[in-house]
Amino acid sequence: MNNVQIMEETKAADIKKRERISGILVHPTSFPSPYGIGDLGPGAYEFIDFLARSGQHLWQVLPLGPTGFGDSPYQGFSAFAGQPLLISPDKLIDLKLLTRGDLGDMPEWDPAKVDYGPAIEYKTSLLKKAWHAFYHTPDKTLLEEFENFCESEKDWLDDYALFMACKDYHEGRCWLEWEEELIDPGAQTKALWREKLADGIHYYCFVQFIFQKQWIGLRDYAHEKDIEIIGDIPIFVALDSADVWGNKSLFQLDPDGHPTSVAGVPPDYFSATGQLWGNPLYDWDYHRETDYRWWIARIRRQLTLTDYLRIDHFRGFEAYWSVPAGEETAINGAWVKGPCEELFQAIAKELGDDLPIIAEDLGVITPEVEHLRDTLGFPGMKVLQFGFGDMGDHNYIPHFYTTTNCVCYTGTHDNDTTLGWYLSQPEDIRDRIRRYGNTDGNCVSLDFIRFCMASIAKFAVFPIQDLLQFGSEARMNTPGVAAANWAFRYRAEDLTPWRQEWLLKTTQLFGR
């Protein structure tokens, strides 16, 4: 280990020792960028600078993987790969893989919203140009880095690149619609298709190499500024993913590759028919027989990219709602016991006892789930909107917190913005909030940030929309609505000196 690595690890350890820190939730797609979608270029670095100047030490992102239909970060083509759309053209120009002339005539982008169709088309065209230039680069160091990357990440990269090249060959269709030999290919079949689709495979390896190079550069810059990154992964993976296609034994599938049971949640106060997610469920017996190798590799990979890891739908590790495949709703499901502590004990054995995991423990949580979370020592989540929106629910109101081992949020990516939510509440709820904060409610999202900061929670995190005091038009996601999600962007000029100063003073006031 060299001196730089030692200093980096020491600095990261010092941050983790701090009892009270705060930060901002914003996905990189929301950063300012001239290319139609936020990326890992100048806008990202300017955001890190803003965090540092305003006294923040945390940046939380959504899952970083390549998205599929619907553009959801929670339904990706891989649990290991990175999102190509986040690659910065400016950084590609720095590597001499693009020129300014390659940028061509850009569409007129909406600076406040991602239009995914045109953005995907434009960014892909730039990536293809950069890939062709890579063939002829005189930069031997870059070529050596690429070869090392392909070798070190081959355990997931080989199947992912082949999977994506095959998807392109089949015009994007799900792998269940491919030729029979390719639905469940053996080593010989894979070798034949790797030869057939060699160019496409090389392209996808190149894209992942560039993503990782840019992401690690940004991560290291954040560490230099004493900022750590909270990553995010969904508990389940998409059916149409390299993970399921390449590792069928890990999932509850029939001999033809179709799920026998799928994920969801049961009927509750919010939905009379529950939620039918449709993700294939894990064959936990097989995971146990293989010593949870896939999960260990997944967590290890994500913790090379981020410092902490929020796991979505944590309750599914204690028990998950299993719905027979073919059902139209989630009503006819059943609770099935999950791996509980055993999974995380196996992960800790490989990665260390102090796993930097945050448990997404929202919704209807049983004492058994709480016991699992607390036994493992993972902080849970406290969302202020939930506490103030229910006159009888004290779990999420700061003065009722019983432990510092939690993360206090104003809201999450699935919530309305605090301003939008507040304006939609009945008067008795709004009156309660005004009296609680001794405020007139005209800056309610900033009031909620103060509530977060003042709480005993060791982490306080708030979406950037709340710092910017944006309304419902800036919402990131509306659960159950298929279209027009994940599109929010802010402008560079939104991060004003006034907001920086307010955030710094508020952070200092509450000892964050």
Active site (catalytic) residues = 312, 360, 414
Contact between 163 and 242 under an 8 Å Cβ cutoff? The reply is: yes
Which tokens in the block code for residue 435?
Answer: 């009296």
* Distance, CA of 44 to CA of 50 (rounded, Å): 10
Query: According to the 3-state scheme, what is the secondary structure of 135-195?
Result: HCCCCHHHHHHHHHHHHHCHHHHHHHHHHHHHHHHCCCCCHHHCCHHHHCCCHHHHHHHHH
The contacts found for 363-366 with CB under 8 angstroms, 24 or more apart, are: 363/265, 363/268, 363/315, 364/268, 365/315, 366/315, 366/318, 366/319
The C-alpha R_g of the chain, in whole angstroms, comes to 23
Residues with Cβ within 8 Å of 209's Cβ and at least 6 positions away in sequence, in order, are: 145, 146, 149, 150
Which tokens in the block code for residue 204?
Answer: 């996808």
Which tokens in the block code for residue 343?
Answer: 């999974």
* Distance, CA of 220 to CA of 29 (rounded, Å): 19
For tokens 């005209």, what's the residue? 442
Query: What is the residue type of 483?
Result: A
Angle between helices 427-437 and 444-454 (to 10 degrees): 50
Measured in whole angstroms, how far is the alpha carbon of residue 340 from the centre of its chain? Answer: 23
The SS3 of residue 411 is: coil
Measured in whole angstroms, how far is the alpha carbon of residue 23 from the centre of its chain? Answer: 16
